[in-house]
Copies of this chain bind each other. A is one copy, B any other.
Amino acid sequence: MRKEVKKLIEENTIIQAPMAGVTTPDLVSEVSNQGGIGNIGAGYLDIPSLEQFIDNVESLTDAVYGVNLFVPEKAEVTQEQIDEAKQIFIKNVPNYSDHLPSSFENFNIFNQQVNLILKKSTPIVSFTFGVPNQEIIEQLKQAGKYVIGTATSVEEAIVVENHGCDAVVVQGSEAGGHRGAFIGEDHLIGLMSLIPQVADVVNIPVIASGGIMDKRGFKAAQCLGAATIQLGSAFLMTTESNAHEQHKEVILNSKETDTVITKAFSGKSARGVKNKFIHLYEKNQDVLPYPHQNSLTKNMRKLAAENNDPAFMSLWAGQSVRLSKRQSVKELIAEFKK
């Protein structure tokens, strides 16, 4: 299984970024069926949901696909901090303050997710927000899985390689969604700088991610030393993605200067189209650390989706929004094969 994946990477197979909340069995399986590599964004999925997702994907494709997990972080908060954050939230967003969670679970089912995947035939496991210890990576590799880490700097890429990963996704400053930085602060390195500097020091394949929407970026990334690319926004816009219609509509009508980095939604830096919620939190840096802020805003995001209200949705998008279009997965992948 590992050999097969290795060959696909060497053959520059394009990868669909594992966007938690956006990926569906239809999206993942269709990407793989069309000759790409689909990825389940499993970060927030509990064990029964993840198993169901994997089974659904496998019922729809025999091709290689992956599962992405969030490496858990410890972030202790006091009840006082939570109460204060709630007050700020109620003041900022009175319209969505009726259903605030009463307790903040520190969502951590990482080890159970790993154990489930060890039992399943999933060919690729990738990690974001850090790298698990070498023991877990070795277990996964022994079970035949190809393991991919995520880095936003050269130092992080070296750690990913040293922990035994088979490949590294390098996330440029252009990328939409959450930043994968896990050592020190995030320095937002552009892909033009990040790819060659990482490629010079690691021996594992480099997968470029951030702002790539079409064949021009695919070729450019390869010139810079990447084996292949991972696309987020481009797949988010496809018919098969689970992104909210309003989310897609906003991206379609945005300019490259409309996205910003914000911690307002989750407590962790992420790039998305600036909306009213981001604006309300702009001058207030008092967000709870991830994942607590994520818990705080969870109901708001759910209700905003039900209300078709993009002002309070997390409108994740990379900096190449002007290149976005509505199309099927098949059409998108076909463009890269031309």
Contacts and interface: CB of A to CB of B under 8 A. Distances in A.
A174 B153 contact: no
A172 B192 contact: yes
A200 interface: yes
Contacts of A259: 187
Interface string A209-253: 011111011011101110000000000000000000000000000
Given A173-B190, A190-B190, A196 B155 contact: no
A188 B190 CA distance: 9
A190 B191 contact: yes
Contacts of A212: 192
Contacts of A217: 192, 196, 223-224
A191 to B, nearest CB: 4
A287 interface: no
B219 A192 contact: no
Interface residues of A, number: 40
B216 A184 contact: no
B192 A210 contact: yes
Given A190-B319, A320-B193, A322-B200, A216 B223 contact: yes
A257 interface: yes
A115 interface: no
Contacts of A225: 216
Interface string A38-81: 00000000000000000000000000000000000000000000
A148 interface: no
A192 B193 contact: no
Interface string A152-195: 01110000000000000000111000000000100111111110
A256 interface: yes
A176 to B, nearest CB: 10
A121 to B, nearest CB: 35
A319 to B, nearest CB: 4
A6 interface: no
A316 to B, nearest CB: 15
Given A154-B256, A188-B173, A255-B154, A193 B224 contact: no
A184 B257 contact: yes
A318 interface: yes
16 contacts: A154-B256, A154-B257, A155-B255, A173-B173, A184-B257, A189-B319, A192-B192, A192-B210, A192-B220, A193-B211, A196-B320, A197-B256, A197-B322, A197-B323, A216-B223, A219-B220
